């Protein structure tokens, strides 16, 4: 299990050798990114080690409840001699924060994504972990850290969001027991669930209404797609972030095996989200048009009209459905 005793020892050495720590996480931070970064910050505070947290983007609306979230900045104010980055495995994903980490003498990476660049002097990476927050729970337990209620709520947010509230396939005995451990330590699971999942803006609900009203089904209702054009975004005053999770609504229909959403939040720029069940490889489809992702969750975007994007992708999605 990761961290191994060697990882724990290496981490302990880095911390004891550091005078000041810069904590970072990825662009468009989610609950695991910010919850894990704040969990590390609470740990360093307990150890009496000065630290800062930076992120390219500000925390999104639905994560403003996180204890300590006000400490997240868009640039470091001080000098640091150790970096700890969580929930990402390439310095690119730090966005504008990347140069601040590239110059640090030492770097620790704690993550659960499949490594690409593999930066860092100490790497605590477990691709089978349900969330970075779960790796931190293991690490802090090995270090004998006392989980405060604030720290527990932050880490719990990572577990709850990355497991889709214990619905995704990464919901294991360990994700549940880590969550139970955090709730026992004072983590507020009701607050986390309400804030993360029950705080949708009205604009988002209206936009979803448009999508569901006009979605198209083909091939015995196995392929489902929908379009949200610039007029729809204008009419509802929604942003592209408000479409988070929409494609999963289409895939949640019993007969649907491939779902796609074509959206134009700004004129002339089309973003496409693709989802599939089982063996249908939508990442292969996305790669053919310059996008990428995982087999069952992929995306692409281009400068085009929505009609062109449909003409480009629909034949490929139909072929994908037929071939697997
Ligand atoms: Mn994560």
| Neighbouring C-beta atoms of residue 118, cutoff 10 Å | 11
Query: Strand 297-303 relative to strand 269-276: parallel, antiparallel, unpaired?
Result: antiparallel
Calculate how far, in angstroms, residue 117's C-alpha sits from the geometric centre of ligand 1.
17
Calculate how far, in angstroms, residue 144's C-alpha sits from the geometric centre of ligand 1.
23
Residue of 89, 73, 87 lying closest to 22 (CA atoms): 73
CB of 108 closer than 8 Å to CB of 22: no
Calculate how far, in angstroms, residue 39's C-alpha sits from the geometric centre of ligand 1.
13
Calculate how far, in angstroms, residue 189's C-alpha sits from the geometric centre of ligand 1.
18
Calculate how far, in angstroms, residue 159's C-alpha sits from the geometric centre of ligand 1.
8
CB of 280 closer than 8 Å to CB of 241: no
Calculate how far, in angstroms, residue 135's C-alpha sits from the geometric centre of ligand 1.
10
Q: What is the mean pLDDT of each run of 10 residues along the chain (324 residues)?
A: 97 98 95 98 98 96 96 97 94 94 96 86 95 98 97 98 90 96 98 92 95 97 98 95 93 97 95 95 93 87 94 97 89
pLDDT recorded at residue 250: 98
CB of 247 closer than 8 Å to CB of 262: no
- Burial per residue of 283-317, b for 16 or more beta-carbon CB atoms within 10 angstroms, e otherwise: bbbbeeeebebeebbbbbbeebebeebbebbbebb
Calculate how far, in angstroms, residue 32's C-alpha sits from the geometric centre of ligand 1.
5
pLDDT recorded at residue 114: 78
**Tokens coding 249:** 């609504």
pLDDT recorded at residue 293: 79
Question: pTM of the prediction?
Answer: 0.86
pLDDT recorded at residue 190: 96
Q: Within 13 Å, how many C-alpha atoms sit on residue 303's CB side?
A: 0
Calculate how far, in angstroms, residue 23's C-alpha sits from the geometric centre of ligand 1.
15
pLDDT recorded at residue 126: 95
pLDDT recorded at residue 120: 95
Omega before residue 182 within 30° of 0, cis: no
Calculate how far, in angstroms, residue 162's C-alpha sits from the geometric centre of ligand 1.
6
Which residues lie near ion ligand 1 (Cβ < 5 Å)?
32, 87, 132, 162
């Amino acid at each position: 299990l990761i961290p191994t005793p060697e990882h724990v020892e290496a981490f302990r050495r880095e911390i004891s050798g550091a005078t000041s720590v810069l904590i970072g996480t990825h662009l468009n931070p989610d609950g695991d990114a910010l919850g894990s970064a704040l969990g590390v910050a609470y740990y360093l505070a307990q150890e009496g080690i000065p630290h800062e947290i930076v992120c390219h983007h500000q925390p999104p609306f639905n994560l403003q409840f996180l204890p300590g979230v006000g400490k997240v900045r868009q640039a470091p104010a001080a000098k640091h001699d150790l970096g700890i980055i969580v929930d990402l495995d390439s310095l690119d994903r730090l966005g504008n924060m990347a140069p601040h980490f590239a110059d640090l003498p030492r770097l620790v990476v704690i993550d659960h994504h499949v490594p690409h660049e593999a930066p860092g002097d100490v790497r605590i990476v477990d691709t089978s972990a349900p969330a970075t927050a779960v790796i931190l729970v293991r690490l802090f337990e090995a270090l004998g850290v006392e989980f405060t209620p604030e720290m527990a709520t932050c880490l719990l947010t990572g577990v709850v969001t990355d497991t889709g509230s214990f619905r995704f396939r990464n919901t294991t005995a360990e994700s549940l027991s880590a969550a139970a451990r955090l709730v026992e330590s004072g983590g507020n699971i009701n607050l986390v669930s309400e804030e993360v999942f029950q705080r949708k803006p009205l604009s988002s609900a209206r936009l979803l209404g448009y999508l569901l009203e006009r979605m198209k089904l083909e091939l015995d209702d196995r392929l489902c797609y929908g379009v949200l054009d610039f007029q729809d975004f204008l009419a509802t005053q929604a942003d592209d972030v408000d479409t988070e999770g929409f494609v999963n609504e289409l895939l949640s229909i019993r007969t649907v095996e491939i779902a796609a959403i074509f959206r134009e939040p700004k004129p002339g720029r089309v973003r496409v989200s693709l989802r599939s069940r089982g063996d249908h490889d939508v990442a292969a489809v996305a790669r053919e048009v310059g996008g990428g992702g995982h087999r069952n969750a992929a995306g692409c975007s281009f400068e085009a009209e929505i009609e062109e994007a449909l003409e480009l992708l629909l034949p490929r999605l139909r072929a994908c459905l037929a071939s697997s």
